[in-house]
Structures are given as C-alpha cells and as structure tokens.
Amino acid sequence: MTAATAPGTAVTAPAGPGTAVSVAAAPGPVVSVPVSGSVWRQQVGIADVRAAAERLAPVGVLTPLQHSPRLSERTGATVYLKREDLQVVRSYKIRGAYNFIAGLSAESLAAGVVCASAGNHGQGVAWSCRHLGVRGAVFLPRRTPRQKVARIRSLAGELVEVRFAGDSFDDANAAAAAYAAERGATVVPTFDHPATVAGQGTIALEVLEQLGRAPDVMTVPIGGGGLASGIAVALDGLGAPTEVVGAQPAGAPAMMRSLEAGHRVTIDIEDPFVDGAVVRTPGALTFDVVRELVPRLVAVAEGRVCTELLDLYQIDGIVAEPAGALALAALDDVAAEIVGRTVVCILSGGNNDVARYDEIIERSLVHEGLKHYFVIGFPQRPGALRRFLDECLGPTDDIVLFEYIKKNDREFGPALVGIELATRTDLEPLLARIAASGLDVQRLPPDSPMARLLV
C-alpha cells in the first residue's frame, strides 16, 4: 500500500526482524526505525491464540461475518463486517478479558481481579467475573458514557464493584493499580498482555474460517493496540497474506506518533470523541507487534466516524459506537488500494449512548461540509435581517441557529448564524452572495475554537 491520504497522516512500517525500516509520516519527516529482533514472538504466538479459542469456545463468543452491500458498493471492494457489536457485552473485549481471567491460578482467582476501563473492557471483565464466580472491581474515568456505566452495573451483579477515579483512563488505571497492591487482586490488563492479545486474536481465526480463506485486507481499530496485535499475530502465525490496516482517531493517534518516534510516546489528547480508542500511551508489547506486523496506520477524522455511525444506523440498522465504526470509516483512507479486493472491517463495539446522537449528527454535518457557522454584523436598523435573507440565502439554505440580542446604543449588532446546506456545492454560491451583499460577515472555520464550542 502507498502513502497517506487526508485527513490524517499515514505511517508505513516494517518488514522482518532485524531490518531498518522507513516510517514516513506525511507531511512530516521520514525517520528510520531500527527493528531489533522480535522479542514479542517469545511472549505470544499462534499457539496462544489457538489455546484462547479453545478456552473461549464454551463461552460462545463467535460473531457473524456479514457482507456489507453499502460499503462494497461505495468502495468497489467486497467488504465484510465482523460484528463484534453482537457480543453479549457488545464488544470484542470479552475475548481478551475472559482468556486472561480464566487462565489465572485458583489462588489468584480467590484473591479477586481488578481493571481500569474506558467502558468496554470493564464489561468484559464484569461478565467474566460473573460467569466464573470471581470477585472483581472495575475502575472507570468519571466521564465514562452513562450507557457503558449502566451496562457494566447490570453485567456485574453482586460480585463486581464499580468505582470512579479521575478524568482519564490513565487516572482509572492508577487507581486500579493501587487497589490491586492493597488487596492482592490481579489487574486484568486492558491491552498490553500476551493473554489479552491472544484472546482478541481469536477474531482472526473465526474470520478465516467464516470466509473460507484469508481476506486481502483487514481494517482494525487501534487504541492501546491489543486488538490489532492479536489479529496481526494470528494472521502472521497462520501465514495469511492479509494486509492489516490500523485505524486511529485523528484526535488521539498515540500509536501513530509512537511509530513515527521509533519508541512509545505519551500524547496529549486533542479530541476524546472516539472514547473506546483514546489512549495516551500504547502498550509495550502491542507497540512491538504493531511496529512489525501492521504495515499501515491511518488517522481517521472524527467527523468521518460520525458519518459512518449515521450510515450504519440509518441504512444498515446497526448501532455502533465511535470506536466500533473506526475501522469502517478508515475505508475512505485506503479507497484507492482496495478496489476489487476482499476487505474485512472489524466492527468492534456497539455500546453507544443515545444521548450522543445529537453531537454525532452535528459533527457529521460539519465534516460533510453541510453545516456552517457565521458571525454577521447586522446594521441596527429595520430591514437589515430581511436584506440578509433575500440577498444571501439560496432556496434550500436553511438557518438552523440564530443568536442575536438587540442593543439600542450600538450601530451594529453581531449575530451568530448557523446555516445548513442541501449539498456541499451550495457553499461557494452562498459565500459569493454574502461577499456581494457588502454585509460584515465572518465565517467560523470548522476547526476554530468557536466552531468547536458550537459542535
């Protein structure tokens, strides 16, 4: 596969062990990353993935692989969706969590388990604890979407305690570590552990079995990297020629930045919207695996994820969460390379809070170029607004926001105006009419702080 496409950067990474590889981050510099032997191969491999599949078999984690007529038509590829949103916990997280917990000694199980979670891992741990009769605690950041908190509580039953700690996943992680030290409980790792990685990797075994062969391309969301590592390890172990494309949120590309740097880095989160895949630092094991086995990462714009979430809902009748739709939204970033090929996208989760749909619609409209904000200085005299409506608005341009307070001691009064267009091509004529009107109009660029405040 070749270089990057908008909106993010693409990172092309490595070949085999011991080679120096070129990591090109458009538009930034090209850096050389030395790949020192594959240490991860001593920690996790196809045998572990197969063992995880055996352990998980009685639990019933097999999900459908479904052809997507919509995405196939749009891309010219044959696209399938691996429906991990249909798990009992509505995400693939049950695989890694159960594999890890079920592999603990009787003594460790008796001492209980604890985890930190942005919402989905906690459900996997809660369900596994209940299923295995193990005591546990789940630490969540305070801003965890309500739907996820409610789901964890309902899965947890009496055995699992739900606690809140801090504002970020990292805060919850620190609290979980302190709890473990105090109580002798075992931390169930979110992504950076061989058993977690092996559990997530069972998805690849199922896909190959369900498809009857290896797909040409698999697109996989990446947060800490557990899911992508598991899938890549399994495909590598099976000798499958599948290219794995990792999808990161553009506002939280920790794995991409780490690959560019040649080592793990901790990033500042610019946009926490894709909550399931927002991680400040990727895992150590997962970084090594992704560096070697995932040849391409793309940063997917949050607005594109929102459009995909709406298409899934409106056209396919599927409720996905932002991280769940990430790998599907990434298809646009690799559009030129997948035509005529078989592509499997991991639809990784469906825990979406209904309260998020207003924001999802708004972000999608802005991303698609259908919604625009302006500050208009209206002369404070009768007829000024009518002039704007008559001279500037086209027949299908729709005012969806108008904030204006009349102040009698001023000559001009600023108004905040939001306009929704029928098609993105209506913008140019609108801007031309505004310019010709002579009105004092400032457009708020979609990425400006003021526009972000409105979204």
Residue 24's φ and ψ, nearest 5 degrees, are -100, 120
| Residues paired with residue 453 on neighbouring β-strands, in sequence order | none
- The least CB distance from residue 294 to ligand PLP, in Å, is 11
Among 124, 225, 295, 303, binds ligand PLP (CB under 6 A): 225
**Residue number, 63 or 91, with CB nearest to ligand PLP:** 91
342 binds ligand PLP (CB under 6 A): no
Residue with tokens 């969460």: 321
- The least CB distance from residue 196 to ligand PLP, in Å, is 8
226 binds ligand PLP (CB under 6 A): yes
- The least CB distance from residue 223 to ligand PLP, in Å, is 3
- Given a contact cutoff of 8 angstroms between Cβ atoms, the answer to whether 172 and 264 are in contact is no
Of the residues 148, 348, 364, 371, only one is catalytic, namely 348
Query: Considering Cα of 214, then 318, then 320, then 301, what sign does the dihedral take?
Result: positive
* Rounded Cα–Cα distance for residues 29 and 25 (Å): 6
324 binds ligand PLP (CB under 6 A): yes
Q: Look up residue 75 and give its two tokens.
A: 């891309």
254 binds ligand PLP (CB under 6 A): no
**Residue number, 81 or 222, with CB nearest to ligand PLP:** 222
- Given a contact cutoff of 8 angstroms between Cβ atoms, the answer to whether 328 and 71 are in contact is yes
The residue among 359, 352, 349, 357 whose CA lies nearest residue 327 is 349
Question: How many amino acids of this chain bind ligand PLP (CB under 6 A)?
Answer: 21
* Alpha helix positions (H), 81-193: 93-102, 106-111, 120-132, 146-156, 169-183
- Given a contact cutoff of 8 angstroms between Cβ atoms, the answer to whether 229 and 42 are in contact is no
What residues numbered 264-323 form the site for ligand PLP, per CB under 6 A?
A: 276-277, 321, 323
Who contacts 429 (Cβ-Cβ below 8 Å, separation ≥6)? 394
What residues numbered 106-125 form the site for ligand PLP, per CB under 6 A?
A: 118, 120-121
Q: Is 93 an active-site residue?
A: yes
- Given a contact cutoff of 8 angstroms between Cβ atoms, the answer to whether 230 and 49 are in contact is yes
Among 9, 63, 87, 91, binds ligand PLP (CB under 6 A): 91
Residue closest to ligand PLP when measured from CB atoms: 349
- The least CB distance from residue 96 to ligand PLP, in Å, is 8
Among 12, 349, 356, 421, binds ligand PLP (CB under 6 A): 349
* Rounded Cα–Cα distance for residues 138 and 175 (Å): 10
* Rounded Cα–Cα distance for residues 46 and 255 (Å): 23
- The least CB distance from residue 226 to ligand PLP, in Å, is 3
- Given a contact cutoff of 8 angstroms between Cβ atoms, the answer to whether 197 and 285 are in contact is yes
Of the residues 93, 168, 258, 371, only one is catalytic, namely 93
**Residue number, 78 or 248, with CB nearest to ligand PLP:** 248
Among 11, 101, 222, 309, binds ligand PLP (CB under 6 A): 222
357 alpha-carbon distance from chain centroid: 16
Catalytic positions are 93, 348
Binding stretches for ligand PLP (CB under 6 A): 91, 93, 118, 120-121, 191, 221-228, 276-277, 321, 323-324, 348-349
